[in-house]
Amino acid sequence: MRLMAVVTSIGLAAAAIAVIPPSTAVSDPGELSFSGPGFTVRVNQAPFGMQVLNSAGQPVLMQVPSNGGPRLVKNEAQKPLGVTPSEWLFPTRYTPFTFTVGTSSTTPFLISPLWVGDLWEASSCGIQYGATGVLSTRPVPQGLELTLSTDDPSGRTLGVTLSEDSGRLRVSVIPSSTAGIVSMGDSFASPAGERFAGFGGLHNGLDQRGGRFTNWVQEANVGAGPLAPVFNVLMASSGGPHYLFPGGPRAAYYVQPQFTSTAGYGFVLGQTELADWHLDSDRPDAWHVNVAAAHLDYEVAIGDPGQVISALSAANGRHRVPPAWALGTQLDRRIVTGQTGADYAEVVRSDLAKIVAYNLPITAYRPEAWMTLDPAVLRQLIRDFGEHGIHVLLYTRSFVSMDPLRNTSPEDYRYAVANNYVATHANGKPYIVGSPNQALGGQAAVIDFTNPAAKAWYQHTVIEQLETGADGFMSDFGEQTLPDMHFANGQTGATMHNAYPAIYQQAVREAVESFEQSHPGRHIWFYNRAGYTGSTGYEGGNFPGDESTDFSVASGLGALIPDMLNRGLAGAYGYGTDIGGYQDLLAGPTPKELFMRWSQMAALSPIMRVHGAHSGTHMPWDYDQETLDNFRQLAELRKRAIPLISATWATAAGTGVPLSRPVWLAAPDDPQAWAADQEWMIGPDVLVAPVVTQGATSRKVYFPPGCWNRQDGGGSYNGPSEATVSAPLASLPYFARCTAAGF
């Protein structure tokens, strides 16, 4: 994983110091070069500039040439309410290796505990300097080290290391003095037509060209629901129908500071500090990234999109293949406020009876409020479900709380706080925040996984869950780290906020592997919500967060497929949604049409799972006979598709090419393929195109090159082309290549 790779590379560099030759002063202002497998880096010494060439000698990534001089800048990485920033008065300087000397501020969104850890604003202001020339060079193992002059009148220099790491170019920049530096960045030329794909769980589309946004793990960003017509106008310049409150149109639970470019390269930022991206947003011919840190670290992979995706996901980690039962249809049961443990147990028993009576091929069931159940009752329920081939999953989260919904234990909260197993204030006292259920009296504290004792205690609670007979769990949350929290490793929330999901999921994975080693034959599967670079390799799967119970492209059904396709490009392809949605405070309860269309979308996605909303759980039998029959048919379709999904998942785990593939991967030069963000491919031979628009009985489908047969009805189509296909309420349009067998 990326975090471990950084530690390893530091150790190797330290071991090699004794054999590094001394620096050589530069007298020739010409070019320097350094080559790795499949790429060459050329450095122009004066004025300084760097370009990366592919194996054919063609430049694919070039820094914007050094230009101008020091400039006063005000960089608004995040504005209140997610309004898209504008820099017309103090624009960012586009020049190689910039650094800003000045002041900065980061203010969390504290209006409600629903958004603990989200940003209200983040900005920096000061004088921005840049690299100007090469002062000296020396070779280092698998690379080149440069000392660069800058236009900072204090005489500050930059130490730059260019090295090869597993076939990728790594660039590290450290100033000779970090005094006063609040951010560093770099700028690159962008050819006409370049597209930027990735960045994690973004909802707004597949190509982020023209975007200006931050990388900061955020929770509970939601669309406007019935107020959407008003917000579409008010926020027309900040996403319009894609606007999310409070973080803006590109706010995400699952953040990956990396992308695949159609220009022949991929880019990954190897840092956890707040990052601010300008993707041809300020000017049409260049992009820029700025990081709230006094150092800069990134990697570049060279090749076609498939090669780049493989290289970047190898660094980030990939979702491992789950046990077959996790690929079947899953149901969750939430608790209703005020419900007793005995009442909840009866509801769970009733669910099992209905699953059997309605002949539903369910393979997993998760009672979210399992802590309300008597331990003996829980164990018996697990055995009862097991007799019908249904695996039970439970629930854990990244904080302890006095939670009135009883998703965590009040005893655990008191114990963890008393033993300082949680993030603290600067004075060492536990940092207490409102839980997401603060309106009902909840308090919470973020578990400090950098404290070995806290980590061991938490892992023991995970193992205790599994010892009940449960075969997995939802590993929820991970977004609540505030910038001024302090952790046992000496870091604050400024660096730990984005790092936290990886450290959290690493602790979970270690506990699961320890349990599996001591329980041969048990195969545990879990899934999580928050993510950042480095977390993916520890995860079993993930879900998109608190979706709205509507069809919106902001946070409802229409937002899910772009999210799935974007995060899948960096190894996080084990994606499963909350069928029917979760956030119903604005949109209201899930109607029949939405439940049916959402079930269809999920049926051929990586994970198929029904969850529930704030007001309770929506089960397929809660509607009418048509809904129940359609859900059963979809679950049977899912059962037939499991061999294909499992095999394609195994291919993804080996190559990085995602399980659910955007169609642009089959036609990267076709603009229509890039616009087709509501469909996907399972491997090379199956195309899925569910209806995600309210009231629609047909939809437009883009067909990649080749011949395609419709599997849920008649009809053949030849691509590349677009066609409108019928899609009545009970229909899921999906297709197979004419040369491939269906299922």
- Percentage of the chain beyond pLDDT 70 is 95
Q: In this predicted structure, what is the pLDDT of residue 1? A: 43
Contact 649, 570 (CB under 8 A): no
Dist CA 213 CA 256 (whole Å)? 12
Contact 580, 609 (CB under 8 A): no
Grouping H, G, I as helix, E, B as strand and the rest as coil, residue 255 is strand
Residue 716 CB neighbours (<10 A): 11
* Residues near 62 by beta carbon (within 8 Å), at least 6 away in sequence: 49, 50, 51, 52, 188, 189
The reply to whether 90 falls in a domain is yes
What Cα–Cα distance (Å) separates residue 131 from each residue in 145, 233, 317, 432? Answer: 15, 42, 33, 44
DSSP secondary structure string for all residues of 587-627: T-SPPHHHHHHHHHHHHTSSBEEE-EETTEE--GGGS-HHH
pLDDT, tens digit, 9 for 90 and up, residues 518-574: 999 999 999 999 999 999 999 999 999 999 999 999 999 999 999 999 999 999 999
273 alpha-carbon distance from chain centroid: 16
**Of 68-77, 624-633, 665-674, which range is least confident?**
68-77
Residue 733, in any domain of the structure? yes
Pairing of strands 362-367, 391-397: parallel
Tell me the CATH number at 677: 2.60.40.1180
- Reading the block at residue 310, the tokens are 């493989």
Of the listed ranges 121-135, 441-455, 676-690, the one predicted with least confidence? 441-455
Show the domain range for 80: 31-316
Q: Out of 268, 285, 316, pick the residue that ends a domain.
A: 316
Query: What is the strand order of the sheet 433-434 is part of?
Result: 399-401, 443-446, 433-434
Whether the pLDDT of residue 458 is over 60: the answer is: yes
Among residues 263, 296, 316, which one ends one of the domains?
A: 316
pLDDT given at position 509: 98
Helix (H) or strand (E) holding 566: helix 560-568
239 is a domain residue: yes
For every residue of 364-406, DSSP letters joined together read: EEEETTGGGS-HHHHHHHHHHHHTTT-EEEEEEESEEE--TT-
Supply the pLDDT for residue 16.
31
Tell me: pLDDT of 8 over 50: no
| Confidence (pLDDT) at 402 | 87
What's the pLDDT at 433? 92
Residue 485 lies inside a defined structural domain of this protein:
no
Q: Is residue 481 classed as helix, strand or coil in its secondary structure?
A: coil
pLDDT value at residue 89: 82
pLDDT at 103 over 50: yes
Q: What is the pLDDT of residues 269-285, one digit of tens each?
A: 999 999 999 999 999 99
Sheet harboring 265-269: ordered strands across? Answer: 24-25, 131-140, 143-150, 158-165, 168-175, 296-302, 265-269, 255-261, 196-200
Express each pLDDT in 572-593 by its tens digit.
999 999 999 999 989 999 999 9
Using CA atoms, how far residue 417 sits from 110, 402, 430, 669, 728, in Å, is 22, 11, 6, 55, 54
**Is there a contact between 235 and 295 (Cβ–Cβ < 8 Å)?**
no
Burial classification of residue 728, based on how many CB atoms lie within 10 Å of its CB (0-12 exposed, 13-18 middle, 19 or more buried)? exposed
pLDDT in tens, 182-201: 999 999 999 999 999 999 99
- Position 439 pLDDT exceeds 60: no
Is 198 part of a structural domain of the chain? yes
Lowest mean pLDDT among 182-196, 433-447, 632-646: 433-447
**What per-residue confidence (pLDDT) applies to 440?**
55
| Residue 86 confidence (pLDDT) | 81
Q: Is residue 644 part of a domain?
A: no
Alpha carbons within 13 angstroms on the beta-carbon side of residue 128 total: 26
Q: How far apart are CA 142 and CA 109, in angstroms?
A: 44
State the pLDDT confidence band at 481, using cuts at 50, 70 and 90.
Answer: very high
The pLDDT mean for the chain works out to 93
- Please report, as a single letter, which amino acid is at residue 51: Q
Lowest mean pLDDT, pick from 29-38, 490-499, 636-645: 29-38
In residues, how long is the chain?
Answer: 743
Least confident range from 16-20, 107-111, 263-267: namely 16-20
What does the pLDDT average to over 254-262?
Answer: 98
Residue 420 within any structural domain of the chain: no
How far apart CA 738 and CA 290 sit, in angstroms, is 48
Mean pLDDT, residues 654-682: 97
- Return the pLDDT at 7: 34
Region for 188 from its dihedrals, namely left if φ exceeds 0, alpha if ψ lies in -120 to 50, beta otherwise: beta
Is residue 642 assigned to a domain?
no
Residue 5: predicted pLDDT: 41
What total of structural domains would you count in the chain?
Answer: 2
Domain finish residue from 297, 316, 335: 316
CATH code at position 148: 2.60.40.1760
